[in-house]
Amino acid sequence: MTIHPSDPSQRAAPDIHAGSPDRFGYSHVLKKLLDIHVEQFNGWTAALPPELWKGASFLDVGCGMGRNSLWATQKGAGPGVAIDVDEGALAFAGDILRAKTEVPVEVRWMSAYQIDFQDHFDIAFSLGVIHHLENPELAVQNMVKATKPGGRVLVWLYGRENNGWIVHLFNPVRRLIFSRLPIRVTDHLSWGLAVVLWAMLHLGWGRLPYHDLLRKTTLRHLKQITFDHMLPQIALYYRREEAENLLRQAGLTDIVSVWTNRMSWSVSGIKPQTPTPTATSSAP
Ligand SMILES: C[S@@+](CC[C@H](N)C(=O)[O-])C[C@H]1O[C@@H](n2cnc3c(N)ncnc32)[C@H](O)[C@@H]1O
């Protein structure tokens, strides 16, 4: 069930559109659940010991089509709440979760900037969302607030390491052209880029584990991944230290980071029982 915010001012939040929810919403409806998505989930959540999912209540921030909430329930987690700011994505997530799991997962319209839970979840996670936001720090602080003391916060972020060519070559073109084109045009163009990428991969280009993963995908899935990289207005690439600091400065301790496919960072931290002073705390 999709629940709308009772406070209409939530919808007037000034900065949610920078996270490209409408453009991702268009992308979600083209997606199907694939086995490779489970493999991706395992990599994206590698910073969390897998046994922690069992019986854990969870918050999925920027749930998109709901696939990550679904995999979390399949690892024994639940009940959960899945939030996003795109109506289409939420409808999609609601359908998938109703059809594929009996674990209660409530699907809600809620921005990462205005999470209204406090000390509520065992695990708050956000996969592939924070690096598209205008204010990643605020989103992570809100996730920490929503987590129980002793609970975990987990994010998956694009890595800067090994992605220099994206930052220097692809990112400027995405920012200046692809992210401004009508979404249907970007969608069509992504086929062309995906065909080139598919040919390069199968001719032997790319030696990283992520390239091996891509070689296993169909052209259609490769097109989807290419499209997702072309459409957002914001795409931030974090070095390990920056990724860890994002969580540390939100007051988390015991930070663990795993270099997923040598291209991205799965990072987790524990919410302390007593709050630690954070970089954002006001001076006494
Ligand atoms: C790249 S998609 C990732 C979706 C999902 N986590 C997944 O892995 O399939 C980014 C998602 O973040 C959502 N989003 C963007 N800004 C947001 C915000 N301020 N609060 C919550 N979700 C947001 C978008 O609507 C979109 O569904």
Q: Are residues 222 and 168 in the same domain?
A: yes
Whether residues 265 and 136 share a domain: the answer is yes
Please tell me the predicted confidence (pLDDT) of residue 277: 64
Residue 253 lies in a domain: yes
Cβ of 62 less than 6 Å from ligand 1:
yes
Regarding predicted confidence, which is higher, 39 or 1? 39
Q: Based on the domain organization, do 143 and 185 belong to the same domain?
A: no
pLDDT of residue 223: 93
Evaluate if pTM is beyond 0.85. yes
Please give the pLDDT value at position 18: 84
Residue 209 binned pLDDT confidence (cut-offs 50, 70, 90): confident
> Do 197 and 221 touch, CB atoms closer than 8 A?
no
Q: pLDDT at position 278, please?
A: 57
151/144 Cα distance (integer angstroms): 9
Mean pLDDT within 199-205: 93
pLDDT, average across residues 219-235: 92
Looking up tokens 């993963």 gives 213
Residue 107 belongs to some domain of the structure: yes
User: What number is the average pLDDT over the span 193-211?
Assistant: 91
* Whether residue 152 sits in one domain with residue 200: no
pLDDT of residue 1: 37
Same domain, 119 and 60: yes
Q: To the nearest whole percent, how much of the chain has pLDDT over 70?
A: 91
Q: Are residues 98 and 175 in the same domain?
A: no
- Domain membership flag for residue 35: yes
Task: Specify whether 24 is located in the same domain as 93.
Answer: yes
pLDDT of residue 32: 77
Probe residue for ligand 1, chosen from 10, 17, 24, 65 as the CB with the greatest number of ligand atoms within 8 Å: 24
pLDDT digits (tens, 9 = 90+) for 90-99: 999 999 999 9
Segment 229-281, tens digit of pLDDT:
999 999 999 999 999 999 999 999 999 999 998 999 999 999 999 876 654 44
Residue 8 has pLDDT above 70, yes or no: no
Which tokens go with 72? 């979390």
pLDDT at 11: 40
Say yes or no to pLDDT of 3 above 50.
no
Atom 4 in ligand 1: which residue has the minimum CA distance? 64
Any domain includes 279: no
Neighbouring-strand partners of residue 109: 84
Q: Which amino acid is at 182?
A: P
Q: How far apart are CA 190 and CA 178, in angstroms?
A: 9
Instruction: Identify the residue whose tokens are 């065909």.
Output: 195
Q: Is residue 281 part of a domain?
A: no
pLDDT tens, 122-164?
999 999 999 999 999 999 999 999 999 999 999 999 999 999 9
pLDDT digits (tens, 9 = 90+) for 58-70: 999 999 999 999 9
Same domain, 150 and 64: yes
Q: What is the mean pLDDT of residues 83-89?
A: 95
CATH number at residue 59: 3.40.50.150
Q: Is residue 276 part of a domain?
A: no
Count up the domains in the chain and report the number.
2
Q: What is the pLDDT of residue 13?
A: 52
The answer to whether residue 95 sits within a structural domain is yes
Domain extent, residue 200, equals 164-230
Please tell me if the CB atom of residue 80 comes closer than 6 angstroms to any atom of ligand 1: no
Instruction: Say how many Å lie between the CA of residue 217 and the centre of ligand 1.
Output: 23
Domain-embedded: residue 277: no
Which of 129, 226, 228 has most ligand 1 atoms within 8 Å of CB, for mutation? 129
Q: What is the DSSP letter of 168?
A: I
**Same-domain pairing of 64 and 26:** yes
Cα of 274 vs centre of ligand 1, distance in Å, is 30
Looking at 201, 230, 259, which one is the last position of a domain? 230
Q: CB pairs under 8 A, 24+ apart, for 29-36?
A: 29/88, 29/92, 30/187, 30/224, 30/227, 31/65, 31/67, 31/224, 33/65, 33/67, 33/70, 33/96, 33/100, 34/221, 36/213, 36/216, 36/217, 36/221
Same domain, 266 and 198: no
Of 182, 214, 230, the residue that ends a domain is: 230
Mean pLDDT computed over every residue of the chain: 90
The verdict on 243 and 132 lying in the same domain is: yes
Same domain, 138 and 14: yes
